[in-house]
Amino acid sequence: MENPTYAYDETRHQYNSKVILKHLLQCCPHDTLSFMGVTRVDLFVPILKYVFGLAQIKGKCSLISLYRLLPQFYNQPPNRDLLMTRIEKTALHELGHCLGLTHCRDRRCVMHSSTRIEDTDFKQPEFCPTCFELFKWRLEKLSREGNYLMPKL
Ligand SMILES: [Zn+2]
Ligand SMILES: [Zn+2]
């Protein structure tokens, strides 16, 4: 995404992720199954210091930020593999929310909530069996209802 200047909060020096999500809902193609914005800016929601990403449960749009996924943010050397794995987990997590999944208690499941980057690094880039069944069921349901190009699971 281009820099979402419209969502900048001058007191927090961060970007309001809810405002960006609203913007995405307005500009996403209507025939899309799920639409994800990727940004480099630091995101927040009013009740939290920061978020790695945001989605509405069963919503069409989601948003992730690279800002706090970069090892450099934690004074670590750049690491492309680590960054890509973190992006994969964060994106899959938000996509799960879009398909109706809520947070999972299994710390290894990708649907476990990440409040710190250590949570993200601990979990696997995949759903636990329960979340996977739900994800698959929702995806199949959506494919019956709409004319989407469906990925094979
Ligand atoms: Zn979540
Ligand atoms: Zn799970």
Q: Which residue has the tokens 């094979």?
A: 152
Which ligand lies nearest the alpha carbon of 111? 2
- Round to whole Å and give the CA distance between 106 and 29: 34
16-71 pLDDT, tens digit each: 999 999 999 999 888 888 999 999 999 999 999 999 999 999 999 999 999 999 99
Residues recognised as catalytic: 94
Determine the distance separating the centroid of ligand 1 and the alpha carbon of 145, expressed in angstroms: 25
Which ligand lies nearest the alpha carbon of 96? 1
Query: Mean pLDDT across the stretch 87-115?
Result: 97
Q: Which helix (H) or strand (E) element contains residue 38?
A: strand 35-39
- CATH 3.40.390.10 for domain 5-145, yes or no, is yes
Report whether pLDDT(74) > 70.
yes
The pLDDT value recorded for residue 144 is: 84
Residue 142 is encoded by which pair of tokens?
A: 């959506």
- Round to whole Å and give the CA distance between 46 and 32: 29
- Round to whole Å and give the CA distance between 85 and 82: 5
Q: Band of the pLDDT at 125, cuts 50, 70, 90?
A: very high
Contacts 24+ apart (CB under 8 A), 110-118: 114/52, 114/89, 114/90, 117/68, 117/69, 117/74, 117/86
Determine the distance separating the centroid of ligand 2 and the alpha carbon of 94, expressed in angstroms: 13
Average pLDDT, the chain: 94
